[in-house]
Structure 1
Amino acid sequence: MSRSIDYGNLMHRAMRGLIREVLDGIAKNGLPGAHHFFITFDTMHPDVEIADWLSDRYPDEMTIVIQHWFDNLDVGEDGFAVTLNFGDSPEPLFIPYDAIRTFVDPSVEFGLRFETQEEDDAEHEDEDDEEIAEAPMAEMAEEEAEPGKPREAEVVSLDRFRK
């Protein structure tokens, strides 16, 4: 019987713990400086709680922005709850950490990307997929950059550490 250390899953748990710690600090003290977050998550994850109209509009994944207006940020052991404004209509959301696909803070060019096993298999078949998948995060970072200073978020792919 061959045993090995599952570094990929260990890294994913550690990075989700980092997200939890960051959000917990924001819940207690607010957003410092220019920090803000783009969080993309799997809307079909069984523990995600969003309004039906949002899951209908975003049947696969959704990106939320935690920046100017957010309320009731409650950080828990398995996920976080937050109320966001959608067209002058506050909507409560619950997002488990396991549902998070990307976490980006373009103000400091920091990003994390979590991949599922199916995405790993596809990545090995076509390495160009990674560039395509990272393009939307880079575009979001550029939209938030100061005029005349385009910036891209640096994305750390944890799957580089998997065997």
Structure 2
Amino acid sequence: MGKDYMNYSAMVQDALRGVVRLALNRVAAQGLPGNHHLYLSFKTTAPGVDIPDYLRERYPDEMTIILQHQYWGLKVSDSGFEVQLNFNKMPERLVIPFDAMTGFFDPSVQFGLQFQPTGEASARPAAATPAAGEPASFVPAKREDTAPTAEAEEKTAGEKRGEVLTLDAFRKK
């Protein structure tokens, strides 16, 4: 096989991050409709990530936040988003570039995307549609990151996790 001078892998990653950007833009403009809630995983040490030092110390590699009941000030740009969440009953502002994202999951509709942070050589996007025989589960990094309420815990405790499949399964070999 020839060298990919077009860098299709990076193009697909950018396109899939665009899905997250569009979803967050809708949430910022209209709020979360119905039972939708979002798990957003990201690399805490990626360039442009701005989180409090104590959170970076607690999650030195990757962190998952949940947008469900208590979030404020969601702002989305072409390059990332910022949101305010409570951690130990203290409001904190987080700034997350889309390039730092490693996962996106909406358990209300079993939709998920998995990313490799930009710049990693083995960037392999994942689609949200499982195919027979080769599913892989997307499990958010650390569910306790946003300390969801007991009500939220009860709602999501019995939910089935979405399945994510790499696009490699569809490539001709």
Q: Same fold (TM over 0.5)?
A: yes
> What TM bracket, shorter-length normalisation?
0.7 to 0.9
Within 1, Cα distance between the matches of 2:46 and 2:154? Answer: 28
Corresponding residue of 1:114: 115
Alignment partner, residue 136 of structure 1: 139
Partner of 1:13: 14
Partner of 2:45: 44
Shift in Å, 1:10: 1.1
Rounded to whole Å, the distance in 1 between the matches of 2:154 and 2:116 is 24
Distance of aligned partners of 1:138 and 1:86 in 2 relative to their CA distance in 1, 3 Å threshold = closer
Letter in 2 for 1:85: N
Q: How far apart are the structure 1 equivalents of 2:165 and 2:154?
A: 20
Residue 99 of structure 2 is aligned to residue 90 of structure 1: no
Gaps of 5+ in 1: 122-129
Q: How far does the alpha carbon of each residue in 1:9-54 deviate from its partner, in whole angstroms, 9 at most, with x for none?
A: 1111111111101100100000000000111100000210000111
1:157 alignment partner, one of 140, 152, 166: 166
Equivalent position of 1:59 in the other structure: 60
| TM-score (norm. length: structure 1) | 0.78
Structure number having the greater helix percentage = 1
Partner residue, 2:146: none
Identity in percent: 43
Shift in alpha-carbon separation, 1:49–1:136, aligned structure 2, 3 A: same
d(CA) in 1 for partners of 2:44 and 2:142? 22
Structure 2: gaps of 5 or more residues: 125-134, 144-152
**CA drift at 1:158:** 4.6
What are the within-5 Å matches in structure 2 for residues 21-36 of structure 1? 21-36=22-37
CA distance in 2, matches of 1:139, 1:82: 18
How many Å apart are 1:6 and its aligned residue?
Answer: 2.4
Partner SS for 1:21? helix
Aligned length: 150
Deviation at residue 154 of structure 1 after TM alignment? 2.3
Q: CA separation in 2, counterparts of 1:114 and 1:19?
A: 11
Preserved CA contact (<8 Å) 1:8 1:161: no
Q: What is the deviation of 1:77?
A: 1.1
One-letter code of the match for 1:78?
Answer: S
Distance in 2 separating the partners of 1:52 and 1:75? 23
Deviation at 1:73, TM superposition (A): 0.2
